[in-house]
Amino acid sequence: MSFGKRFIVAPHTKVKLHHRDPDDTADVEKGDKAHERLVKNVERMEDLQYRLYAESRRALLVVLQGIDAGGKDGTVRHVMSGLNPQGCKVTSFKVPSSEEAAHDFLWRIHKAMPARGEMGIFNRSHYEDVLVVRVHNLVPKSVWSARYDQINEFEKLMSENGVTILKFFLHISKKEQLARLDARIEDPARNWKISDADFKERKLWDDYVEAYEAMLSRCSTKAAPWYIIPANKKWFRNLAVSQIILETLEQMNPKFPKPTVDLSKIKGK
């Protein structure tokens, strides 16, 4: 079974995250073979991304969501490392600016969508508006609860206009999150990332799990499926995400366009 089939959330599925093992490695063993497979995936992705850029008819959007320390930055760094920046754009969504907050919640998302020929990567996304907003009661329930359908309609519109959408939820355990936060504290190259907010948010773990389960249950559609990626093992997280992206690009099968000039007439001139 492919990773895509194993980890996809089928439409209308009620998700319970405690039924999903964040340590699952799909019977793949850590080691040289797994690393070589990742390297080959990244190389093949680079070739297909170049073809997508040259074709300039369609786009691919990769959405990464997960609880703090879930591995979003690491996934971008290890899986997208071989992509050509000319045709690939990473967008990180933080607290909305005053300009963004003056518009509807999807305004800044629409602006960041990849153009034809591009591959876009969202590090967090429009789903913050049914996650953080819900957990912290930043808007009434009547507002955030309506956003699930609004998001589905938006993603359907994007899909119908040539954007293939892949959404990855990086699933780690509460114990693994604590281990990663503690490791950051001990690492001078990463402890600048630590803030009081990280541990305050951790106290809301159960509320976030409930919000993520609703997101995954209500917003995995044929047009824009969610994949729950076991992410306790970083090496497997990278392999699984790269494999699903690669499978999708191969299904898209981008092709080089034909030359716009008669090459035989200009060769050697």
Round to whole Å and give the CA distance between 70 and 22: 11
Structural domain count, the chain: 1
Round to whole Å and give the CA distance between 127 and 86: 27
- pLDDT tens for 160-192 read 999 999 999 999 999 999 999 999 999 888 888
Q: 91: domain range?
A: 3-252
Domain harbouring 137, CATH code: 3.40.50.300
- Report the chain's C-alpha Rg in angstroms: 20
Q: What b/e readout covers 65-83, taking b as 16+ CB neighbours within 10 angstroms?
A: bbbbbbbbebbbebbbebb
Q: Count the Cβ atoms, other than its own, within 10 Å of residue 159.
A: 16
- pLDDT tens for 43-55 read 999 999 999 999 9
pLDDT of residue 260: 83
- Say which residue the tokens 């996934």 belong to: 75
pLDDT of residue 249: 98
Question: Could you tell me the pTM of the whole model?
Answer: 0.96
Q: Count the Cβ atoms, other than its own, within 10 Å of residue 242.
A: 24
On whether residue 180 sits in a domain, the answer given is yes
On whether residue 229 sits in a domain, the answer given is yes
On whether residue 265 sits in a domain, the answer given is no
pLDDT of residue 196: 83
On whether residue 149 sits in a domain, the answer given is yes
pLDDT of residue 85: 87
pLDDT of residue 1: 64
Q: Which residues of the chain have pLDDT under 50?
A: none
On whether residue 48 sits in a domain, the answer given is yes
Round to whole Å and give the CA distance between 177 and 68: 7
On whether residue 268 sits in a domain, the answer given is no
Burial label for 101, CB within 10 Å (0-12, 13-18, 19+), is exposed
On whether residue 257 sits in a domain, the answer given is no
On whether residue 164 sits in a domain, the answer given is yes
Q: Count the Cβ atoms, other than its own, within 10 Å of residue 204.
A: 15
